Amino acid sequence: MNRPKIGIFIIAYNAVNHLIQTISRIPKETYNEVEEIFVIDDCSKDNTYYAALGYKHAYGIDKLTVKRNKINHGYGGNQKVGYQYAIERGLDIVALIHGDGQYAPERLPDLLAPFRTDNADMVFGSRMSHGREALKGGMPMYKFYGNKILSYAQNKMTGLNLSEYHSGYRLYSMHALQKLPFLNFTNTWHFDTEIILAMAERKMNIVEQPIPTYYGDEICHVNGIPYALNCLKSSYRFYQNRKRNIMTYPGSYPENLSHLEVIKMAVGEK
């Protein structure tokens, strides 16, 4: 069997104080294994993009690619751009890491393992699988219980049994991801929930792996109440359509579209 082509996608927005350290924390064994590490800066207001470029040239990191969106696409929109880039590059597995360092790059070897042993379509790092460990890692109490309550409600509606839906530490089989109409998903924060639901509809294999929780001085850009309502709305739609045997996220994007057309779709342009 050919060795899979693995990419690390670092999503970044106003992460100048954390991005370089996040990249440098990628374990050597994973760094040597991956085809490419690509940073996509979502039109940050700080010097995130230039810091990444400087790091690339200062250390001669050929496998590090740095890109910057001309306009801010939003959390989901930026992921769309990154996954389309991964498709263009012919990658087999993509690991999504946040540039603020909240999700530990050191766990990449463990998160990649299920693709070799469990035939995983998606692996995500869960902060909530080990009791109250997330609180010890600095997760604020209101976020801990908010995550618990929201995930419980989503599990009741979806019939899934996930420890959480809200971790942004995710790895995907690109073969599986290309079967999803992800370009039609939201450009905002509940994009992650929509990915899970679309995979669940297609009976894809979602694997959870425990990860440590770290909260430092990074800035959270999520507006909690609208985010929670959107997650519940998406999960309820899934519940209703599951009863009717209707797919919530049917189809996929047309394969004959050019890269430019796909990106325009991703950011809502005509």
- Please write the tens of the pLDDT for every residue from 226-259: 999 999 999 999 999 998 999 999 976 544 444 4
Question: In the sheet that 36-41 helps form, which strands lie side by side, from edge to edge?
Answer: 64-68, 36-41, 6-12, 93-98, 170-173, 122-126, 206-210
Segment 66-116, tens digit of pLDDT: 999 999 999 999 999 999 999 999 999 999 999 999 899 999 999 999 999
User: Distance (Å, rounded) from C-alpha 164 to C-alpha 154?
Assistant: 9
Lowest mean pLDDT among 25-29, 126-130, 167-171: 126-130
Share of the chain above pLDDT 70, in %: 90
What are the residue boundaries of the structural domains of the chain, listed by start?
Answer: 6-266
More confident of the two residues 217 and 130: 130
What does pLDDT average to over the chain?
90
Buried b (16+ CB within 10 A) or exposed e, 79-95: bbbbbbbbbeeebbbbb
What pLDDT is stored for residue 12 in this prediction?
97
The answer to whether residue 262 scores a pLDDT higher than 50 is no
Segment 208-224, tens digit of pLDDT: 999 998 776 655 666 67
DSSP code, position 34: -
The answer to whether residue 58 scores a pLDDT higher than 80 is yes
Please provide the CATH number assigned to the domain covering 6-266.
3.90.550.10
- pLDDT, mean of residues 1-25: 94
Please state the pTM of the whole predicted model.
0.89
What pLDDT is stored for residue 132 in this prediction?
85
Segment 184-205, tens digit of pLDDT: 999 999 999 999 999 999 999 9
Cα separation values, 52 from 14, 16, 17, 99, Å: 12, 8, 11, 10
Phi, psi at 213, each rounded to 5°: -100, 135
What pLDDT is stored for residue 131 in this prediction?
77
Lowest mean pLDDT among 11-15, 31-35, 57-61, 217-221: 217-221
The answer to whether residue 267 scores a pLDDT higher than 90 is no
